Chain A
Amino acid sequence: MIWETVRLSLRSIRRNVLRSFLTLLGIVIGVAAVIAMLTIGSGTTAKVKSDIAKLGSNLLVVRSGRPAGTGGPGGLDQAVRPLADKDVAALVAHLTGARAISPASQKQVRVIFGTESLTSGVTGTDSAYLDARDWKLVSGRRFSDSETRSGTGVCLIGETVRQQFFGAGEPEGEIIRVNRTSCKIIGLLEPKGYTGFGQDQDNVVLMPLAAYQRRIAGNRDIDNIYVAADDRTPTTELQPRVEDILRDTRRITPDREDDFSIRDMTQIADAMASATTTMTGMLGAVAGVSLLVGGIGIMNIMLVSVTERTREIGIRLAIGAHEKHILIQFLVEATVLSLLGGIIGILIGLALAGLASATLTIPFAPSPAVILLAVGFSALIGMVFGFFPALRGARLDPIDALRHE
């Protein structure tokens, strides 16, 4: 009986292909929007999380300048004292619970090899930087202590730099020019890909801090100090210790505020992930409204359908159809219609999300739960919005219905 009714409804949907299609469109767009939004959203959340993890887990980043608004880009205040070697030395000497402590300064600089050139993020640092940021070498070696101390012209390059200059060739031992100073490549960094903000993390050159300060920056300033917590120490515990040590070594009296800021990357990761999730939810809700509009479209067309087929309903009632038969017939038709729209919408939504994932280089993360929910919801919309028209059809008086032209 139900199968019979489904077949019947498919036939009546086919009978008015254009009208059915236009009706479907509302649901299709609604479901596609919801699916695309949620899928892209969960992909973005995953991307943000992994980006921050790539930056280094349990990482504190110290910058000079007063702390800006929470989570904001703690801007460098010109009037403020920069970080210095002695700050790093104090942390290394007194801080407990840290896995790695590394100073770093960076700048966008033109890097040249042969006839090729590339503007790259050049960072002056030490070997601990790789530990702090959980960054491994694909080949080659780290800076030696003597290279770090004396500021020898050696460097580690990222994957993008390697591709630009060497293609399939071997980069180690080659000499590149970084801002008019020469630099020998001693190692290749593991690829990290793009950040969620589209920044290429592999377009980098690392060199010893002393070399960077002398040959590129022209000063002794340190932009950041990376402090990675060890496995037993949460960053929330480590942060006040870092603050105490730095206040002490920078001689900040208790009545004055910090002239440096400490950012907890874990907290930023959580905040950003939860922001993305909220955003996703909001976009999904907005998309959900279009589903509602789609549902009203279904109701509209079902009302037309019931009116148009009044005579048919009369015949069916005359030859012995119960109210419930008519009700079910039109309910099934509305449900099949919106379910069909839902399925098409899911396919389109997934395709859109796939496309977006490819262009934005975020993971394609379709959620079976969301898809199932979309199917269920579109069926529900058909039932809810199909009910009133169906009831109207079922309540018709067979005599009037038969007289209807």
Chain B
Amino acid sequence: MAAALIGFDTVWKSYGQGEAKVHALAGVDLTIKRGEFVAIMGPSGSGKSTAMNIIGCLDTPTAGTYSFMGIDAGRLDRNRRALLRNLYIGFVFQGYNLLPRTTAAENVELPLIYRGAPARERRELAMQALAEVGLVGREHHTPAELSGGQQQRVAIARAIVTTPTLLVADEPTGNLDTARTHEIMELLTRLNRELGLTIAMVTHEADVAEYAERTIRFLDGHVASDSSKLEVA
């Protein structure tokens, strides 16, 4: 297995001051290697969302070190982290978070715009990504004209159009029915296997977590359990 992609070294994340101080993460140590498909679980308030935000370089630890691709990402400023996200991280959210009244293709092109890619290249890459998630023929539909499952596919296409190293998925199936959930999870599994995409996924559904090869459970700001299918098998 390749080197560590993500490393938490006694990471603390605290909110508030003095008496009201809350530790969302209390000295977490964690390593995720390249190519892994990790499910992150835990009750609300367990620190899993905070951990995801730090993994996705959206947030920084209060104390401790977060390294991403060997970079001390926790010490980078806003714009450097934005660059890091743009180059190496794709995001899939529970609520799809597509731009309204904007076609599927344009939504997928968005991260490439911030990369300064020329229009033609953007179009081509967007088409490829949409084909990858099985949305050929829907390129010019706006989110309102697409079903929930299709919208989430557009969001996944947007996440992978930059060929990222890491895909961060926050409850990617939270708004979907069982059949759609299965389809989306199949898609993520395929992307993990075929493209070697590292996936970190927050979920509270055990059957969704089943698709991942490793499950990390958070509780009260600590890692409560960390189990790998390979070890179990």
Contact = CB atoms under 8 A, between A and B. Distances in A.
Given A317-B82, A320-B82, A323-B78, A399 B110 contact: no
Given A1-B116, A321-B82, A316 B110 contact: yes
A320 B85 contact: yes
Interface residues of B, number: 26
Contact of B82 (A1, A4, A322, A399): A322
B82 A315 contact: no
Contact of A402 (B79, B87, B93, B114): B93
Contacts of B86: 319-321
B58 A399 contact: yes
Contacts of B91: 318-319
Contact of A325 (B53, B114, B158): B114
B97 A399 contact: no
Contacts of B114: 316, 319-322, 325
A308 to B, nearest CB: 11
A314 B53 CA distance: 13
Interface of A is mostly: helix
B190 interface: no
Nearest to B49: A399
Interface in A307-342: 311-312, 314-325
B75 interface: no
Contacts of A386: none
A285 to B, nearest CB: 42
Contacts of B140: none
B85 A402 contact: no
Interface string B39-61: 00000000000000100101100
Nearest to A318: B91
Contact of B111 (A1, A314, A320): A320
B101 interface: yes
A398 B113 contact: no
B99 interface: yes
B58 A318 contact: yes
A15 interface: yes
Contacts of A311: 97
Nearest to B122: A4
B5 to A, nearest CB: 18
A4 B58 contact: no
A86 to B, nearest CB: 91
A323 B158 CA distance: 20
A322 B114 CA distance: 8
A306 to B, nearest CB: 15
Interface in A278-330: 311-312, 314-325
Interface string A128-144: 00000000000000000
Contacts of B98: 315
A398 to B, nearest CB: 5
Interface in A151-167: none
Given A315-B97, A399-B53, A402-B97, A323 B58 contact: no
A323 B79 contact: yes
Contact of B99 (A312, A324, A398): A312
Contacts of A314: 97
Contacts of A4: 113
A311 B143 CA distance: 15
Contacts of A323: 78-79, 82
Given A1-B113, A402-B97, A319 B78 contact: no
A322 B101 contact: no
Interface string B77-99: 01100110111001101000111
A311 B87 CA distance: 21
A314 to B, nearest CB: 8
B115 interface: yes
B201 to A, nearest CB: 16
A395 to B, nearest CB: 9
A398 B58 contact: yes
A315 B143 CA distance: 15
A229 B83 CA distance: 79
Interface string B52-73: 0100101100000000000000
A402 B85 CA distance: 15
Given A1-B116, A15-B101, A319 B59 contact: no
Contact of A320 (B53, B87, B101): B87
B87 A399 contact: no
Given A323-B82, A398-B58, 10 more contacts: A315-B110, A319-B114, A319-B158, A320-B83, A320-B85, A320-B115, A320-B162, A322-B114, A324-B79, A399-B58
Interface of B: 53, 56, 58-59, 78-79, 82-83, 85-87, 90-91, 93, 97-99, 101, 110-111, 113-116, 158, 162
29 contacts: A1-B116, A311-B97, A312-B99, A315-B97, A315-B99, A316-B110, A318-B56, A318-B58, A318-B85, A318-B91, A319-B86, A319-B90, A319-B91, A319-B111, A319-B114, A320-B82, A320-B83, A320-B87, A320-B111, A320-B114, A320-B115, A320-B162, A321-B86, A322-B82, A322-B83, A323-B79, A325-B114, A399-B59, A402-B97
What are the 3 tightest A-B residue pairs by CB atom distance, in nearest-first order?
A320-B86, A319-B111, A320-B85
